[in-house]
Structure 1
């Protein structure tokens, strides 16, 4: 090997080692300062708190008409938007 190729490989090796070291340092520093949970009952579980209601609880029936109106107006806007764009372009 010539001296030039050896210097290039040495430079590449140094850059790779420095970037690997920087990556490991960036991963290690936050873990070092992370608080350790001392009591298991204080550790967060999934979302952190206890749920207010059961996962299969139903919504009150009074919300359904408003939901249907919302969906109807959203569908109307979905079909009206392309029409409005064409109307503005031709006007």
Structure 2
């Protein structure tokens, strides 16, 4: 059973590597200075590509991830809710209560402020 999965994974990785190798061999290579620079409307870049983002974006990204995963759990639950019954309702209720407590904690810690 696992041998099939391993062979499938190896075939997939091998196929991807072969495609990358063929593309590298068949594509033209221009090694002039203008061709090596990053394309940015024909102008030189103003900042380095590895410029750091401010840490305040992390809070918004984590909150978005929290609600995105909430919806990923709620869609399948909505499909099977009528079949499972009150047990599913109580489980999702506890899940939502935990999420609301997390939101209240983030609000108390001022995670939503832009300072």
- Of structures 1 and 2, the larger Rg is shown by 1
* TM-score > 0.5, shorter chain as reference: no
TM bin (shorter chain): 0.3 to 0.5
| TM-score relative to the length of structure 2 | 0.34
| TM-score relative to the length of structure 1 | 0.42
Of structures 1 and 2, the one scoring higher in RCO (CA 8 A, sep 6+) is 2
